[in-house]
Amino acid sequence: MYAALALLLLSPLAVPPLLAFPYRAQVAGHAIYSEAPIDPRLPTLVHLADDKVRRSPLSRSLELTQPIFLTAGGWRWLYLANVAHGAFAFTRPLAESIVVNRSDVVRDEVSSTLIAGAHRSLSGVLAHEMTHTAIRARFGLLADWRFPAWLREGYCDEVAGGGSLSDDEAEQLVRSGQDRPALLYWRGRKQVEAELRANGGSVERLFAAHGAY
């Protein structure tokens, strides 16, 4: 575990501006770095993501100041993503910088450079990643190891308002026997929604039931 933390600290993500992102802007608390000129519609998407995260009780004491790096899915993404090349985005603990795969602000979309046809909304991806930060802020840096993946990813998608699969798409994959990574997120979100309904909507009780304390 400590070796993994050391690897994160030594990651190139510790100083991503050194990768010479040519465009920069400030949107609310977020420094934005981009490979492409920053579209004037981006602030709307960032504010939408912020608003979604603020509705989570885990974000009450969280300052939404995560730097956001928008890549074109090329060498910068491959260098920063390490083993997460197929992801829509990722956030590294400690730095809490959000790095986004191939993004399209005009379409409010992020696509995977590894999985053909895989895409989801950019605003949803940002909200999802910010919620990972909120989980770590509430439960500690080791939250990524203390809680099961279905809970962490499912709750982040619940806050974001959905994932990359619609219910129909997920059910079709299940019927056909295909086990894609996106199903973990979909199943996790469904389980999170069910447990929140059953416990009166308490996020604290949701996490306490699966290893928080």
The answer to whether residue 12 scores a pLDDT higher than 70 is no
**Domain limit, last residue, from 120, 140, 160:** 140
Question: Which residues have CB under 8 Å from 127's CB, separation 6+?
Answer: 48, 49, 50, 52, 53, 156, 159, 160, 161
| Residues spanned by the domain of 49 | 1-140
Q: Which CATH number is 74's domain given?
A: 3.40.30
- Which token pair is 101? 């795969």
**Domain limit, last residue, from 140, 164, 190:** 140
Predicted pLDDT at 180: 83
Range 113-130 average pLDDT = 85
Q: What total of structural domains would you count in the chain? A: 2
Q: Is 149 helix (H, G, I), strand (E, B) or coil?
A: helix
Q: CB–CB of 56/20 below 8 Å?
A: no
Predicted pLDDT at 83: 64
Q: Output the pTM of the full model.
A: 0.89
Alpha-carbon separation of residue 63 from 52, 69, 93, 202 (angstroms)? 14, 18, 15, 22
Question: Each residue of 154-164: pLDDT tens digit?
Answer: 999 999 999 99
Whether residue 135 is found in the same domain as residue 160: no
Whether residue 51 is found in the same domain as residue 112: yes
Question: Each residue of 74-100: pLDDT tens digit?
Answer: 888 888 887 677 889 999 778 899 999
Whether residue 14 is found in the same domain as residue 93: yes
Question: Which residues have CB under 8 Å from 37's CB, separation 6+?
Answer: 23
Number of residues in the chain: 213
Question: Each residue of 33-83: pLDDT tens digit?
Answer: 999 999 999 999 999 999 999 999 999 888 999 999 999 998 888 888 876
- Helices 149-160, 181-198: axis angle to 10 degrees equals 80
Residues in a beta bridge with 109 = 104
Question: Each residue of 124-148: pLDDT tens digit?
Answer: 999 999 999 999 999 998 999 999 9
